[in-house]
């Protein structure tokens, strides 16, 4: 069976350098500017491997996917402004990697960046984190970005809903001032109704807003779920198990709109095989046919993101 992973993070040198700049340096002033920690400093502090360059990191990802038997993966630029890093990786391995990128709709250059990432850099999914960027999905700045995605064939929109924690920020003591009210799957449904040709991806089954995510996907045939991460949100619904969540998603959304993902990110940890093992076991236990499992683990990904090159 082909395994494609729709949810991996590309933690590039620029990603770590940006986190370094976000580090508060209270002792700095204009006459004595404190040098922000470099990407390498940040990696050393985290005890993670230094990605060195986008090309080297792309190479590492490909070696990891090969070692784990994963055919293709979506890699997300995980901070706004890091599109070029992922584009460099995808350009090297267009048959294996699909580029996703995060956009902050409140940024002055958000529409320009989105257009550039899609039309010039060949990235294929816009990622929105409304709770992080404090822009409601009904805001016209979001509308303008989705409009750009809709104007190009084959571009998807990923919208993080529900609970959100960014492990690397917590580890570095960086603030995470998220407004969780803003990530509601029913607001994704509003956009999905307006742009029926655009595939929308809600990660982690809605990350705690499972009922709303199911409602949204039931009403809108262009809403997909990704299955990534440990899905620890299930503890917000008393008694809910991941098996039961999969069963409900299969019965409401169906196997054609579930996309397997792990939420893998840094090295040396690499690709999170444990997530795959757990989900494979659950689908086997649920009696999902080999054909439906093949859709979830790989074919839906290939349908949404046909291999380039
Ligand atoms: Zn993620």
Interval 257-286: pLDDT, tens: 999 999 999 999 999 999 999 999 999 999
- Give pLDDT, residue 29: 59
**CA–centroid distance, residue 75 to ligand 1 (Å):** 10
- Give pLDDT, residue 31: 62
**CA–centroid distance, residue 65 to ligand 1 (Å):** 17
- Give pLDDT, residue 35: 84
Dihedral (CA of 170, 260, 76, 129) sign: negative
CA 150 to chain centroid, in Å, comes to: 19
* pLDDT range class, residue 148, cuts 50, 70, 90: very high
- Give pLDDT, residue 26: 57
**CA–centroid distance, residue 90 to ligand 1 (Å):** 18
Residue bearing the bigger pLDDT, 24 or 5: 5
**CA–centroid distance, residue 7 to ligand 1 (Å):** 6
**CA–centroid distance, residue 31 to ligand 1 (Å):** 39
**CA–centroid distance, residue 9 to ligand 1 (Å):** 6
Is 60 exceeded by the pLDDT of residue 28?
A: no
**CA–centroid distance, residue 231 to ligand 1 (Å):** 11
Q: Per-residue pLDDT averaged across 162-177, rounded? A: 93
pTM here? 0.96
* pLDDT range class, residue 23, cuts 50, 70, 90: confident
**CA–centroid distance, residue 152 to ligand 1 (Å):** 25
Q: Per-residue pLDDT averaged across 27-36, rounded? A: 67
Is 60 exceeded by the pLDDT of residue 171?
A: yes
**CA–centroid distance, residue 239 to ligand 1 (Å):** 25
* pLDDT range class, residue 34, cuts 50, 70, 90: confident
Tens of pLDDT, residues 193-238: 999 999 999 999 999 999 999 999 999 999 999 999 999 999 999 9
Is 80 exceeded by the pLDDT of residue 18?
A: yes
Is 80 exceeded by the pLDDT of residue 118?
A: yes
């Amino acid at each position: 069976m082909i395994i494609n992973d729709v949810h991996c993070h590309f933690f590039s040198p620029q990603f770590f350098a940006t986190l370094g700049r976000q580090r508060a340096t209270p002792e700095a002033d204009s006459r004595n500017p404190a040098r922000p920690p470099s990407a390498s400093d940040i990696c050393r502090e985290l005890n993670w491997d230094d990605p060195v360059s986008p090309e080297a990191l792309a190479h590492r990802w490909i070696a990891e996917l090969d070692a784990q038997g994963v055919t293709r993966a979506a890699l997300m630029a995980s901070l706004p402004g890091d599109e070029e890093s992922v584009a460099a990786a995808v350009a090297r391995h267009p048959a294996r990697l699909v580029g996703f990128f995060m956009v902050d709709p409140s940024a002055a250059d958000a529409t320009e960046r989105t257009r550039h990432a899609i039309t010039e850099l060949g990235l294929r999914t816009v990622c929105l984190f409304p709770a992080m960027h404090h822009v409601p999905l009904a805001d016209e700045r979001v509308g303008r970005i989705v409009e750009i995605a809709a104007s190009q064939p084959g571009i998807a929109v990923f919208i993080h809903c529900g609970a959100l924690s960014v492990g690397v920020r917590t580890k570095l003591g960086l603030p995470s001032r998220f407004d969780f009210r803003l990530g509601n799957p029913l607001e994704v449904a509003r956009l999905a109704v307006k742009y029926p040709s655009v595939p929308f991806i809600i990660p982690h089954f809605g990350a705690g807003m499972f009922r709303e995510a199911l409602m949204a996907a039931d009403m809108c045939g262009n809403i997909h779920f990704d299955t990534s991460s440990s899905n620890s949100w299930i503890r917000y619904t008393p008694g809910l198990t991941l098996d039961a969540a999969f069963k409900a998603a299969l019965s409401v959304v169906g196997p054609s709109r579930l996309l397997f993902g792990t939420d893998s990110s840094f090295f040396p940890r690499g690709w999170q095989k444990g997530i795959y093992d757990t989900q494979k076991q659950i689908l086997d236990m649920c009696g999902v046919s080999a054909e439906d499992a093949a859709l979830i683990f790989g074919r839906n990904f290939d349908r949404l993101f046909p291999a380039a090159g």
